[in-house]
């Protein structure tokens, strides 16, 4: 047995683990990194990157079929589904070197390609290695949740871990789950020529603001996607090419392929956490606001920590851990300033409180301002006028922003900056945005907040009148 002593042991080479390992090694720590699967984790191999690449294929096909408003003849796109998947894997291969074992070894990280399991509170076994570490970071991520729906175990189905290897274009794709993954893949496949039905047990995009989510759902239905809500799947049956999903209320959905996209489960089964005195919850490893587990030497970050499940959250957690584990400085993780985006067309972005959450938390003290895409000149020029931006404001500060529309994921960046740094609406209003850009929407919604204070205010009008009388 090969024994290793290290300053920092990172278990999992997904986005969060890689960020910790790279940062710590470059700051002089002795770092050991364990990964039994693929370097880059879910985001590179099965999630963010391949899904956005397939969405890009769908966007290209959709543009060909809907070019006439721009003076270009519509054509029926000739979709080669297998070639679209080749595009997906080409994109993955272009990014892989950044997450590769060779790169991290070049940074000074000791990389061991084995899964790790605790054998004591301070020791982890990985293959024939036993590693003792001053601090340990668990960054093992999550996997697709496959629910115990009767019949599912005997019916061929895809998850996000298998979908991007599928080479045959589905004739009719059934998607169980109407969250971000389900809706993104629904639109991508519809644009690539598949018939698509989404089967959601509650409300589609139910974690987002209903008003802005409604804008997106209307657009998806307009493209021919069937979205069945309040349709809890009770039984699944059939064979390859002929699959049926029956809902509790008796509705029956038939298709050729099935994608399960109902959520995620933390990757903790291999870790033998009991040996380390680490407690868990239903959603993952129990951590405090410093991301420490019940074993104070062990941190958990990203999806496995049971909070918001986004790649950028794992990266944010990495910074918290580096501050704490390497420098011994106090550092706490928050969620109020964390944005998220669903990359449909139109996009759906959110940060902080939704309108309903803001009203529940702050009552009448909350002010809501909206500004429509239809009043933005760049959106008009590009015929992308569907959508709106909505800001929830408490005493002059934004506490939540919901955006549905083109480039919503880019527009939310400004609000992430504002909310992370405690900026007020006046700071956004003071910004000079280049014309014509979608970014003007952010300035215009800030202007909508101040307009009634300036233009519908009798005191302001009185002051202006008095000043005008005295000016030469």
**Binding residue ranges for NAD(+):** 177-184, 200, 263
Cα–Cα dist 183/205, whole Å: 8
Q: By the 8 A CB rule, do 237 and 152 touch?
A: no
Q: By the 8 A CB rule, do 399 and 362 touch?
A: yes
For the annotated binding site for FAD, the residues are: 52, 116, 140-142, 303
With b meaning 16 or more CB within 10 Å and e meaning fewer, what string describes 397-411? ebbbbbbbbbbbbeb
Of 263, 182, 262, the C-alpha closest to 226 is 182
The token pair at 362 is 């702050």
Cα–Cα dist 112/130, whole Å: 11
With b meaning 16 or more CB within 10 Å and e meaning fewer, what string describes 32-57? bbbbbbbbbbbbbbbbbbbbebbbbb
The dihedrals phi and psi of 197, each to the nearest 5 degrees, come to -125, 125
For the annotated binding site, the residues are: 52, 116, 140-142, 177-184, 200, 263, 303
Cα–Cα dist 426/423, whole Å: 8
Question: Could you identify the residue written with the tokens 């301070």?
Answer: 122
């Amino acid at each position: 047995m090969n024994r290793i002593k290290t300053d920092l042991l990172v278990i999992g080479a997904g986005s969060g683990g890689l960020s910790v390992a790279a940062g710590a090694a470059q700051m002089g720590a002795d770092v050991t990194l364990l990964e039994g699967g693929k370097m880059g984790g879910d985001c590179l191999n099965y999630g963010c990157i391949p899904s956005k690449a397939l969405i890009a294929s769908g966007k290209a096909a959709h543009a060909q079929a809907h070019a006439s408003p721009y003076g270009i003849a519509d054509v029926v796109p000739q979709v080669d589904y297998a070639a679209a998947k080749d595009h997906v894997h080409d994109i993955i291969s272009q990014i892989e070197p950044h997450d590769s074992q060779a790169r991290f070894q070049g940074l000074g990280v000791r990389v061991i390609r084995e899964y790790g399991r605790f054998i004591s509170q301070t020791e982890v076994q990985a293959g024939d290695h036993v590693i003792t570490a001053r601090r340990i970071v668990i960054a093992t991520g999550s996997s697709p949740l496959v629910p115990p729906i009767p019949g599912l175990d005997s019916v061929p189905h895809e998850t996000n871990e298998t979908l991007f290897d599928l080479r045959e274009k589905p004739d009719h794709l059934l998607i169980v789950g109407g969250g971000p993954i389900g809706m993104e893949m629904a639109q991508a496949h519809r644009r690539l020529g598949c018939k698509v039905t989404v089967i959601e047990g509650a409300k589609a995009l139910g974690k987002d603001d209903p008003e802005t989510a409604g804008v997106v759902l209307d657009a998806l239905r307009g493209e021919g996607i069937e979205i069945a809500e309040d349709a809890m799947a009770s039984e699944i049956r059939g064979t390859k090419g002929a699959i049926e999903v029956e809902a509790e209320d008796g509705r029956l959905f038939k298709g050729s392929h099935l994608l399960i996209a109902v959520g995620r489960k933390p990757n903790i089964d291999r870790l033998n956490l009991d040996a380390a005195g680490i407690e868990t919850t239903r959603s993952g490893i129990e951590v405090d606001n410093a991301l420490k587990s019940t074993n104070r030497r062990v941190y958990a970050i990203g999806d496995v920590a049971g909070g918001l499940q986004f790649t950028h959250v794992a990266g944010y957690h990495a910074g918290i851990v580096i501050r704490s584990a390497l420098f011994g400085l106090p550092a706490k993780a928050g969620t109020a300033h964390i944005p998220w985006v669903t990359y449909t067309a139109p996009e759906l972005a959110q940060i902080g409180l939704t309108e309903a959450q803001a009203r529940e938390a702050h009552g009448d003290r909350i002010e809501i301002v909206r500004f429509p895409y239809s009043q933005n000149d760049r959106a008009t020029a590009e015929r992308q006028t569907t959508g709106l931006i909505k800001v929830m404001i408490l005493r002059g500060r934004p506490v939540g922003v919901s955006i549905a529309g083109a480039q919503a994921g880019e527009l939310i960046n400004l609000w992430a900056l504002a909310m992370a740094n405690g900026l007020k609406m006046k700071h956004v209003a003071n910004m000079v945005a280049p014309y014509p850009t979608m970014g003007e929407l952010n300035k215009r919604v800030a202007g909508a907040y101040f307009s009634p204070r300036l233009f519908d205010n009798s005191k302001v009008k009185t002051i202006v009148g008095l000043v005008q009388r005295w000016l030469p």
